[in-house]
Amino acid sequence: MIDFLEALLYNVVESEKGDKMLKTKRLELLKELVEQKKLVHVEECVQLLNTSESTVRRDLEELEKEGILTRVHGGAKYNGKIKDEPKISTKLKTNFYEKDLIAKHASQIVEDRDCIFLDAGSTTYNMIPYLADKDITVITNGITHIDRLIEYNIESYLVGGYIKPSTKAILGEEAVLFLQKYYFDKAFIGVNGISIENGFSTPDIRESTIKQVVISRTKSPYFLADHTKFDQSYFVKIADLSDCKVIVDQYIEKYKEHIKMEVAQ
């Protein structure tokens, strides 16, 4: 008997028959399948995704490199190490003072006629009231963010694509294609972990892809991070520490030789 996730996979694949399924979508579906079942066989993945065995094996190899699974004879097993991200509602309540301080400082960098990107994070969400009097255009991949941008009458565009339930972030191949049409003056990006060894990181390969695309298409990209994000490392690297400035709530002495820090005041 087919379970709920398998039914979902089946429906997605059926809707894409006649077209080549995008690689990003295949990886998303494989990740969801292995997270639920803990152990998957190559044959069932071939059937569910309506693709070749060689394609499935390549996809599993890629997910193994990201630390999501380990390949075994005939399939793959879930590593069980990836932390689930808290819901956006929970994030908004955590370290509120520090995040609001960073958000206010970040908003002061924005100038009239800027086109900016706001990542789907809690600190970027706090920026929105401080942007209300500026003549700007905002593009965001945050479902929660777009409601608040409309509330403050800020000209805004919402990225299209897959919606991640926990963070209400829009991700996936469609989102990447959307973002590649634009070039931003400034981008404000959330991050889960910062470490000297692994740079900026996140637990979600889809999140990292969006952030990487935005960084590559932005004149001045900024990460927003309170002090609790330092000395934390997650499975997917977004960028090197030298790639972007970071707006922080306090100076982190240990990182002074590795990172361009801007302390919120």
pTM above 0.75, yes or no: no
pLDDT in tens, 17-44: 434 567 877 888 888 888 878 889 999 9
Do 73 and 201 lie in one domain? The reply is no
Give 196's contacts (C-beta < 8 A, 6+ positions apart).
241, 254, 255, 258
Residue 3 — φ and ψ, nearest 5°? -90, 180
Instruction: Determine the average pLDDT of the residues in 9-19.
Output: 48
The CATH number of the domain where 229 resides is what?
3.40.50.1360
Per the domain annotation, does 61 fall within a domain?
yes
Query: Residue 166: is its pLDDT beyond 70?
Result: yes
**The pLDDT value given to residue 119:** 97
Give 6's contacts (C-beta < 8 A, 6+ positions apart).
33, 48
The CATH number of the domain where 45 resides is what?
1.10.10.10
Do 98 and 144 lie in one domain? The reply is yes
Per the domain annotation, does 83 fall within a domain?
no
CA 190 – CA 124 distance, rounded (Å):
7
Higher pLDDT, 203 or 142: 142
**The pLDDT value given to residue 2:** 43
**The pLDDT value given to residue 93:** 59
Q: Domain of residue 23: give its range.
A: 4-78
Based on the structure, what is the number of domains in the chain?
Answer: 2
pLDDT in tens, 111-151: 999 999 999 989 999 999 999 999 999 999 999 999 999 99
CA 240 – CA 242 distance, rounded (Å):
5
